[in-house]
Amino acid sequence: MSSVVSGPAEPLRGVAKVPPDKSISHRSVIFGAIADGVTTVSNLLEGEDVLATIAAFRSMGVTIEGPDAGNVIINGVGRNGLEAAGCALNLGNSGTSMRLLSGLLAGQTFGSRLTGDASLQRRPMTRVVDPLTKMGARIDAVDGLPPLDIQGPADLHAIEYRLPMASAQVKSALLLAGLYASGRTTVIEPTQTRDHTERMLAGFAGATWAPAGPLKIDSQVVLSGQVLAIPGDISSAAFLLVAATLRQNSDVLLPGVGVNPTRSAVLEILRLMGADIEISQERQESSELVCDIRVRSAALQGIDVPPEFVANAIDEFPVIAIAAAGASGITRIRAASELRVKESDRIAAMVQGLTQLGIDTVEYPDGMDIRGGHFTSGSVDSFGDHRIAMAFAMAGCIAAGPVEISDANNVRTSFPNFVSLMNSVGLNLEECP
């Protein structure tokens, strides 16, 4: 789809099974590939980003069956069993793939070249390249941008690294590199970020994940194949949470959504704003907390977003901004400069789009102020960013008229059935070629 048109909608009703979690899907493929034995995965996200990760490991000699209706069988080659790819590993639009694989491949005996589409080649990689270089990796990147040329063989050594900015992807890259480094690698976070890597690493190592201070890893860890079930993606659920909250008389059930404590701050932010969100059927699946979420329409009030929630809701801020635009009063978002280095500059993209739709918005280096109002009809640019496109599609359901979102092709990276699923509960979306 080159664009999506979102029109005013009827009240949203029904049950919507959101796509599997993208972050966990990536990690299941990575750890399954370097484990000993077979890993079976159910409910894997078949989005373009995850498929790029699968293709990369196939290029490095890993036999992967599927995905077939979300089912994947990964025949692990062990930690030292990867082979040099015969060409550059093209990771499409997936920043997660590039950052995590840079850590994994930094410790291999062979060289690798990581590249991607035009958008990915504009995303800065210095924050992951610098600490990997401190570990002894040899990585060439012009101006800190992809392609990344990783030279082998590497002789990595452990470091203690304090992250200057909270980033689950940088943390994960260092932990993966630590599997190949002499000594014990320690990563210290300024604020806790999503811990999917740590949970999954513990599971593959036959241990129970128990957070306790700085993260440590060494090359003595033995990884064995696992049976994994991927929960629904809270980041994808967030779009429906906001749309159903804003559209009067809505009532939507989202079953099987992952609510990892390091990922669920979006629920707390929306509740602080006044959202009617009910959690039920909490359970553990593959070391992750999963539940059913029911959301009903509610009147929202602007808030100052607590800074301690920012890191754990970083991917949801585009749609949180839509919620703020539909609330009464002013919502202030700060300490969110990480949004500047996502698939787009998400602060600038949201401010521009909201302004074009009649919402009073002020941009700051690390966030924005949004005064709640009424969406007008109009056109906005997603800048090729899937989360920007999907966020503004939610605005259309309560706008004065249709909202057209351009450059929406990358929605498929995380939410392949976005239009059909949203329309199934009452949204009014149309794909345009």
Cβ burial, residue 280 (10 Å; 0-12/13-18/19+) = exposed
* CB 5, CB 392: distance < 8 Å: no
* Ordered strands of the 13-15 beta sheet: 13-15, 251-258, 288-296, 276-285
Whether residue 169 is predicted with pLDDT greater than 80 in this model: the reply is yes
pLDDT for the residue 242:
98
Provide the 3-class DSSP secondary structure of residue 181. Answer: coil
One-letter amino acid for residue 219 of the chain: S
pTM over the 0.85 mark: yes
CA dist 194 → 42, 95, 200, 230, 256 (Å): 21, 16, 12, 15, 18
Tokens representing 194 are 């999503």
The set of catalytic residues is 315
What's the whole-number mean pLDDT along residues 197-208? 89
How far apart are alpha carbons 181 and 192 in whole angstroms?
Answer: 24
Structural domains of the chain sorted by starting position, each given as residue range(s) with its CATH number in brackets = 3-20+231-432 (3.65.10.10), 22-229 (3.65.10.10)
* CB 355, CB 361: distance < 8 Å: yes
Helices (H) and strands (E) in the chain, counts: 12, 22
Provide, rounded to the nearest whole percent, the portion of the chain with pLDDT above 90. 88
pLDDT for the residue 133:
96
Whether residue 2 is predicted with pLDDT greater than 90 in this model: the reply is no
Give all strands (DSSP E) within 106-237, no chain letters: 112-115, 138-140, 148-151, 160-162, 184-188, 215-218, 227-229
pLDDT per residue over 279-297, tens digit each?
999 999 988 999 999 999 9
pLDDT for the residue 220:
84
CB neighbours of residue 119 within 10 Å:
17
Whether residue 212 is predicted with pLDDT greater than 70 in this model: the reply is no
Whether residue 191 is predicted with pLDDT greater than 90 in this model: the reply is no
pLDDT per residue over 339-366, tens digit each?
998 889 999 999 999 999 999 999 999 9
Confidence of residue 1 (pLDDT cuts 50, 70, 90): low
pLDDT for the residue 153:
82
